[in-house]
Amino acid sequence: MKIGVLGTGMVGQTLGTKLVSLGHDVKMGARDAKNEKAASFSAKSGDKASHGTFADAAAFGEILFVCTNGNGTLPALRAAGADNLAGKVLVDISNPLDFSKGMPPTLFAGNSDSLGELIQKEFPDAKVVKTLNTINCSLMVDPGRVGGGDHTVFVSGNDASAKARVTEILKTWFGWKDVLDLGDITSARGPESYLLLWLRTYVALRTADFNVKIVR
């Protein structure tokens, strides 16, 4: 499958590397087609990997993973182009963290909206699914690192078929056992707001290898 990864940081690199290892063709997008991190990803990942602008990656991918810094998410998607996003599943992993006043960060969305909602509102023809934003990138692609994989990842989105596809990806590609559908895209407010607790827990534990489990 052809997959576009928007963002060249740790999340984009980790997701892109995993997807290539599964045999997918991955194009990593950045603001600049000559981005050094994206070029490094292509060089080390072989002929299944390539890189270009956000628009290049969005046009290339049948499914898109949004791995940008929260403040850069909407600008990146605007650069990608609405036509390149239309009709595609957009897996949104970004978080609305505001570091402008230092640590700990606040949220620039969350009480009456979410970053997932802002994306869906601006790009109504995309099929936005919020997921994987509540865990460290290493756990995203290897949930077995903690508790034998016996913990929970969430999905939110308006399109039932898109959520079903993303749930299948989470289970069959990445090895997630427990995927909990929270509801429509407004439910993304919950997992995005959880990041405030995640960061405090990270500081307390001094490790990112943790997650929550929903016990029924």
- Identify the structural domains of the chain with CATH numbers, from first to last: 2-205 (3.40.50.720)
pLDDT, residue 209, reads 97
| pLDDT, tens digit, 9 for 90 and up, residues 100-154 | 888 888 888 878 999 999 999 999 999 999 999 999 999 999 999 999 999 999 9
pLDDT, residue 154, reads 98
pLDDT, residue 55, reads 98
pLDDT, residue 109, reads 86
Return the sign of the alpha-carbon dihedral for residues 162, 165, 170, 174.
negative
Of 152, 153, 162, residue with least CA distance to 129: 162
Supply 125's token pair: 């023809």
Question: Is the distance from CB of 92 to CB of 163 less than 8 angstroms?
Answer: no
What spatial distance separates the first Cα and last Cα of the chain, rounded to whole Å? 35
Segments of the chain with pLDDT less than 50: none
**CA distances from residue 125 to 27, 29, 110 in whole angstroms, order as listed:** 22, 20, 23
Question: Is the distance from CB of 52 to CB of 29 less than 8 angstroms?
Answer: yes
CA angle 66, 31, 70 (to 5 degrees): 40
Supply 133's token pair: 């934003």
pTM value is: 0.95
